[in-house]
Chain A
Amino acid sequence: MTAVKIKNVNKIYERGNVHAVQNLNLDIKDGEFVALLGPSGCGKTSTLRMIVGLETISSGIIQFDDVIVNDLTPEQRNVAMAFESYALYPNLSIAENLAFPLEVRGIPLEERTMEVNRIAEMLQISELLNQRPGQLSGGQQQRVSLGRALIREPAVFILDEVLSHLDAHLKFQMLFELKKIHNSLGKTMVYVTHDQMEALALADRVAVMANAKLQQFANRNELYHRPVNRFVADFIGEPSTNFLKARVCTIEQKIVLEVNENLNFYPDLRRQELINEKGLEEVIIGVRPQYLTLQDGTGKESLTAEVLINEYLGERNILEVKNGSDRFRAVVPPECRAIQGDMVKLFYEPNHVLAFDPQTEVCLL
């Protein structure tokens, strides 16, 4: 049972002088499933390697419970890690690879074989047990690497992009298995991915990173509805948030955000206050395509736009629309038959209009 505390951690690679992780603070609770989410090169793997103990910490502290682990070896920290590059032992068979963490702990052969069979079945690699890593596909190797991390019960599981090479169907099954393992073992897990679907599906809380810095560490609801800045609003959600530049006008003592002469957005009262407080003349509006709908309702505001593209995606359509020179997207039901050139009326709730400071790109919350 281990809580992982990361305090003011920095990682600077001497070679190339890269500041890969800047002032990272993460407080991971005991038994929590945390996902590290961010674009390629943002420092996720570097963070993991510092937690595991494969990389020195340039400054700051990492604690497991109350113990500072900065100078402990991976073995002393008792972590299990699945590597982004698989790092399978090329001379050992798949079964031996999976059993290796048990073998080094002197667990007898029969028990090892049992555990290997259990894990292999779960990850659907039972037929591969006698092969060598070189004979496997990327996705198969990835599952072996995951299995090698999952076969024992460490204090913390560290999983680095372990599902990235799987097809959607298999990925879904593996997500389910991972969740099941986490529920039954109750161990702390840190899971790195650049796929927000995985992160949101699995994790209790998601740490969004960008440019070596932590942007936001929160549960999926927070991330979705109260992103701290434009990056998070953009990165979380599919399709991504619409951003529009708007001028702040006051009409009848109400603040209205004017995108162009035909397009106004009406934020809710609290955001009006915040904009007032800050004395902003311009803001960036963020509206999720999901919240621009064809359905009217009480308290909803509306806008009109011209359809550019109606993209059929099966369970939903994505409308690409424009108003003046401003383009944005809306998610509509698949029955929508609007075609290019049609005018549509779209509705939104004022509290779904996010506003960002144009200078700092911080969300006004």
Chain B
Amino acid sequence: MSLKAESVSPDWFKHKRADKNLIVNPVIPWLMIGFPVLILVAIVIYPTIWMGYHAFQNTNMMKLFYQDWEYIGWQNFATVLSDDRMWDSVGRLIQYLIFGACLEVLLGTILALTLFELVKSQLARVIILILLVLPMMLPPSIVATLWKFLLQAYNGAVNHLLIKIGILGPMERIEWLDAGLSLWSLTMVDVWQWTALPLLIVYSGRVSLPPAIYEAAKVDGASQFMVLRRLTLPLLKEIIAIAFIIRFMDAYKFVDKVYVMTSGGPAQSSELPVFIAFQKGIREVEIGEAAAYAWIIFAVAMVLITLFLKYLKKVLKAQTFA
């Protein structure tokens, strides 16, 4: 190898340490890059290719065991797309997105702007923010377990509280986690945990708006509502959209609380698409079908993310002008 050992360190680096050259064996950089790449190949790239292959095979547990699956074309996709269970879950996902992600962004925005307007002391602001952000810092599985206990129909703290304050009669119970309510309960818990994220994003956006234009609006005689409608919301429009995109992407792959709190039940009443794919692949070991599921989810995500990125690009372009 003609490569000399010193030549690996760049010029500016040598310049900075003029007295002592950093001597690096040229193999080391390759090792440093190579190791993570290997891990990536092992846990992402190889399984993806494997999955891509099996989406077109009739693989299930037995066939996997005996290694005798065979090519069946698009049949797995057909099975998935004709399955009512899947379409029901899509409906629930949309419900969850509308009432979960949207509610989080809406509540977060309202809280952020109220906090900014009403609390003027910097210290108080920081304390309130920290309190509001606390739920977000807990691991989702812990939050789910916690709420599973709180929402127990008997002995659960939530029902207990409702009885205490007289909303429920002493013998009444709300079955938070039964078929009718389970998805709503999941949504509520998710809102409890994640409202702080859009709150933080919108709050920091509001803080960075120039105070001078608010003074100008005051002198021009604009009412609070007018300022909100004509200045604050339009100026925060993009930031709110970005908060929504972040929550949306998270919601799209929402599975943790479903898994812990209801396992998709009762009677599959709280299943979301990602959870079904997980069920099919890991529980039922219907590898072929699960792979097709994953591909469909992936393709939809690709489309959505491309749209979001297009929007973000537009936003960035607009902001360099503003």
**A interface residues (Cβ-Cβ under 8 A, vs B):** 52, 54, 73-75, 79-81, 83, 85-92, 100-101, 103-105, 132, 134-135, 148
Q: Which of A79, A91, A92 contacts B219 (CB 8 A)?
A: A79
Check A90–B322 contact: CB distance below 8 A. Answer: yes
**A-B contact list, 14 entries, CB within 8 Å:** A54-B219, A75-B218, A75-B219, A81-B216, A81-B219, A83-B215, A87-B212, A87-B216, A89-B213, A89-B231, A90-B235, A91-B231, A101-B220, A134-B322
Check A91–B321 contact: CB distance below 8 A. Answer: no
Check B216–A135 contact: CB distance below 8 A. Answer: no
The complex places the Cα of A75 from the Cα of B215 at a distance, in Å, of 11
Residues on B with beta carbons closer than 8 Å to the beta carbon of A87: 210, 212-213, 215-216
Residue in chain A with minimal CB distance to B212? A87
Report the 9 A-B pairs with minimum CB-CB distance, sorted nearest first: A87-B212, A87-B216, A101-B220, A75-B221, A104-B222, A91-B234, A74-B219, A134-B322, A81-B219
**B interface residues (Cβ-Cβ under 8 A, vs A):** 210, 212-213, 215-223, 226, 230-231, 234-235, 321-322
Check A90–B213 contact: CB distance below 8 A. Answer: yes
Residues on A with beta carbons closer than 8 Å to the beta carbon of B213: 87-90
Residue in chain A with minimal CB distance to B236? A91
A sample of 12 more A-B contacts (CB under 8 A), given A74-B221, A132-B321, is A54-B218, A74-B218, A79-B219, A81-B216, A88-B216, A89-B217, A90-B213, A100-B230, A103-B230, A104-B222, A104-B223, A134-B322
What is the interface of chain B mostly: helix, strand, loop, or mixed? Answer: helix
The complex places the Cα of A79 from the Cα of B220 at a distance, in Å, of 8
Check B218–A83 contact: CB distance below 8 A. Answer: no
Residue in chain A with minimal CB distance to B214? A87
Check B221–A104 contact: CB distance below 8 A. Answer: yes
Residues on B with beta carbons closer than 8 Å to the beta carbon of A89: 213, 216-217, 230-231
Residues on B with beta carbons closer than 8 Å to the beta carbon of A91: 231, 234-235, 322
The complex places the Cα of A221 from the Cα of B231 at a distance, in Å, of 46
The complex places the Cα of A131 from the Cα of B279 at a distance, in Å, of 55
Residue in chain A with minimal CB distance to B226? A104
The complex places the Cα of A80 from the Cα of B235 at a distance, in Å, of 24
The complex places the Cα of A105 from the Cα of B217 at a distance, in Å, of 12
The complex places the Cα of A100 from the Cα of B322 at a distance, in Å, of 18
B117 CB → nearest A CB, Å: 16
A88 CB → nearest B CB, Å: 7
B206 CB → nearest A CB, Å: 14
A350 CB → nearest B CB, Å: 51
Q: Which of A74, A103, A134 contacts B321 (CB 8 A)?
A: A134
A96 CB → nearest B CB, Å: 8
B141 CB → nearest A CB, Å: 42
Residue in chain A with minimal CB distance to B221? A75
Residues on A with beta carbons closer than 8 Å to the beta carbon of B322: 90-91, 132, 134
Residues on B with beta carbons closer than 8 Å to the beta carbon of A132: 321-322
Residue in chain B with minimal CB distance to A55? B215
Residues on A with beta carbons closer than 8 Å to the beta carbon of B234: 91
Check A92–B230 contact: CB distance below 8 A. Answer: yes
Residues on A with beta carbons closer than 8 Å to the beta carbon of B221: 74-75, 101, 104-105
Check A100–B222 contact: CB distance below 8 A. Answer: yes
The complex places the Cα of A104 from the Cα of B221 at a distance, in Å, of 7
Residue in chain B with minimal CB distance to A52? B219
A351 CB → nearest B CB, Å: 47
